[in-house]
Amino acid sequence: MEGVGGGGCSWAAFGCPICLEALRDPVTLPCGHNFCLRCLEAHRLCPAAGDQGSPSAAAAASSSGSSSGSSRCPLCQEPFPAQLQLRKNHALAELLQLRTNPQMEPREEDGDGGGGGEAQPEQDGSKAEEAGVLCDFCTGDSRALASQSCLVCLASFCGPHLQPHLRSPAFQAHRLVPPLRHIEESLCKLHLRPLEAFCRRDRAPVCPLCAAQEHQGHPMVALQHQSQHLQAQRPKILSSVENQLDELGVLIAQTKRTIDLIKGTAQKEKEKVIKLFVETARVLAAFQKEVLEFIDDGERTMLSGAEEELRQKEERHTTLNECRQKLEKIPCTDTISFIQEFQALQIAAEEKNFPCTGFSKELNFIKSSQAVFTVKELLVNICKNQWDQLSGKGDGGSIPYGMPEVTVGPQISDKNTNSAFLESRDYFLKFAFIIDLDSDTADKFLQLFGTKGAKRVLNPIGYPQSSTRFINCEQVLGENIMNRGNYYWEVEIIDGWVSIGVITEDFNPQESYDTGRLGRNEKSCCLQWNGQNYIAWFGGFDCVIQQPFFHTIGVFLEYSEKVLTFFGVKDAKTTCLQQFKVARFKQGHFDPFQNKINHQFPMLFNHNLKPAFFLESVDAHMQLGPLKKDCVSVLKRR
């Protein structure tokens, strides 16, 4: 079909429902539907004639059926008198001619009583356009205002052009309404019938077919009645809308001020945070500078002492070498010279207390990295805790990660609250655990004495290759596995620096020296004797213990309780040196070492554990104790 015409309706409204072509000599039935004159006559004479147009038309025709007294509309099946004289719809024919050739003037037809073509409105075109709907039949520059619209013709008519609808019987069934700007909006989109009622249940205008089908049984009122009802409510609705507009205006202004406040406050907070981060970075930079200077100072001091001692030793080496060479050059016949040079060499060789600087050989700056690591861990823990607080993820019932907590629970130093601190050595001997050293784990610089003793040596030992052997740390493990119950064993420190602890069975023995040592990772912990005091190690964190030296160290592992305790043993009595267990902090106190234990130490007990030993110094020597009540110390036997 063609596009939309001047009246706002499509060409589909001017097609014959029987032949599906443009109307030729249109006639209108009382129901309002239009057909070609020939098509409708053929349909009345023979209902099957309707199949010349289309299958749908044929079906409609076959279902209509002609009775002796009446016929039915092929489209809506509404009956009409069989003797009804079919007359040409001159107005519709004229409208079709205007749509086909818009330049044609309206023709005057005999009997239509219309002289609409000669009647001109007295209003000018601009005023008519302002008023609203214009007549679809008026042509030229000035078109008259429409007085009514026809829902059957889908067009609007001025007074003169409306006369055929008022005078001709053919238009008696046409529905005239006040002028409508968009007539097609007054038709049902489904049935193309005028919208005559309003369904109050679905709150929508409906046509008669809709009212009888989809909306059957729904409360209905006439459209005019619904319009009058809404017009009566109009002042109240408009007043309510005005009040809402005023309230929304106030709320919008308040919301805008709130948005401005949020933006301004956020910007100020950003500036404060940036300033604090800059200050924090400045503090860390200053700390970094101090630590690096400390390392440089320690390096210079120790290098100067070491270089001076090297110079003195080289001088002594040169002196002895010269005396030896002089003695070798003198013949045995030169008795006097031989005696003099021999005595000189003898005196030089007997000078054992040769001058030396006596500088400290302890690299005191090696703990710098540990200090920085502690600071880093504290920052990480504090940042995580503060972020959890900001994001609302903090758990008040759990042990704080990196922050002190006020509790009534005991701190780890409160030894009187744990029964292990109150027991004698005899109590722990009930849990005696016999340990044998595993030679397949011993480092090549460790010499084993049977399965009980180990000593660090200078020359490597040709142990066979093993995937469990330590290669970077002078360490050895026990063969025994601990995975349930309680265990107690003793170790005697014979000489040097010795670390005693436990390690997970799956630990990689090929770890580097920094991370492979006992207590410098999260898979092991230990108690270290460094020649001056004891130090507890776990996860790279350390804790210095102020206790006197004990040759015998007792180790008590409570696997089920996830507790490891080290004792100093002397004269059948035990003195607690350190206990590894989860514990809360006292009010106002925060211990990074204990904090590390709280969050990582229980993970050790998810694995099988083994006894572990680290002989750190070149003279280190240890022995596993016999664990008998009447045992004699290894040191006393030596």
- Which CATH number do you get for residue 106? 3.30.40.10
**What are the tokens at 324?**
């030896």
Q: Are 562 and 581 in contact (CB under 8 A)?
A: yes
292 found inside a domain: yes
Residues 608, 550 share a domain = yes
- What does the pLDDT look like over 281-311, one tens digit per residue? 999 999 999 999 988 888 888 888 888 888 8
Write down the mean pLDDT value for the chain: 79
> Exposed/middle/buried for 451, CB within 10 Å: 0-12, 13-18, 19+?
middle
Residues 611, 532 share a domain = yes
Percent of the residues in the chain that have a pLDDT greater than 90, as a whole number: 34
Instruction: Output the 3-class SS for 241-267.
Output: HHHHHHHHHHHHHHHHHHHHHHHHHHH
pLDDT at 284: 92
- What does the pLDDT look like over 265-283, one tens digit per residue? 999 999 999 999 999 999 9
DSSP state of 528: E
397 found inside a domain: no
- Domain final residue pick, 344, 361, 378: 361
pLDDT at 151: 78
Residues 440, 317 share a domain = no
Q: Coil, strand or helix: which one is 541?
A: strand
- Domain final residue pick, 304, 331, 361: 361
Residues 246, 173 share a domain = no
Mean pLDDT of all residues in 440-445: 95
Higher-pLDDT residue of 45 and 378 is: 378
34 found inside a domain: yes
Higher-pLDDT residue of 556 and 375 is: 556
pLDDT at 342: 84
What is the residue range of 114's domain?
11-179
pLDDT at 54: 39
Residues 171, 46 share a domain = yes
- What does the pLDDT look like over 478-531, one tens digit per residue? 998 999 889 999 999 999 999 999 999 999 999 999 899 999 999 999 999 998
CA–CA distance, 623 with 546 (Å, rounded to integer): 24
Residues 425, 562 share a domain = yes
pLDDT at 34: 87
Q: Which residue has the tokens 């006040």?
A: 178
- Which CATH number do you get for residue 583? 2.60.120.920
Residues 561, 464 share a domain = yes
396 found inside a domain: no
Residues 266, 137 share a domain = no
Choice among 96-110, 113-127, 219-233, 298-312 with the minimum mean pLDDT: 113-127
Residues 411, 357 share a domain = no
Choice among 32-41, 234-243, 514-523 with the minimum mean pLDDT: 32-41
pLDDT at 340: 85
pLDDT at 398: 43
pTM of model > 0.75: no
Residues 171, 232 share a domain = no
207 found inside a domain: no
408 pLDDT higher than 50? no
- What does the pLDDT look like over 174-230, one tens digit per residue? 878 888 877 777 778 888 777 888 998 998 999 888 888 888 889 989 888 888 888
367 found inside a domain: no
402 found inside a domain: no
Q: Are 186 and 195 in contact (CB under 8 A)?
A: yes
253 pLDDT higher than 60? yes
Residues 337, 266 share a domain = yes
- Domain final residue pick, 116, 147, 179: 179
Residues 567, 431 share a domain = yes
**312 confidence band (pLDDT: 50, 70, 90):** confident
pLDDT at 96: 77
Number of structural domains in the chain: 3
pLDDT at 90: 81
CA–CA distance, 435 with 625 (Å, rounded to integer): 9
394 found inside a domain: no
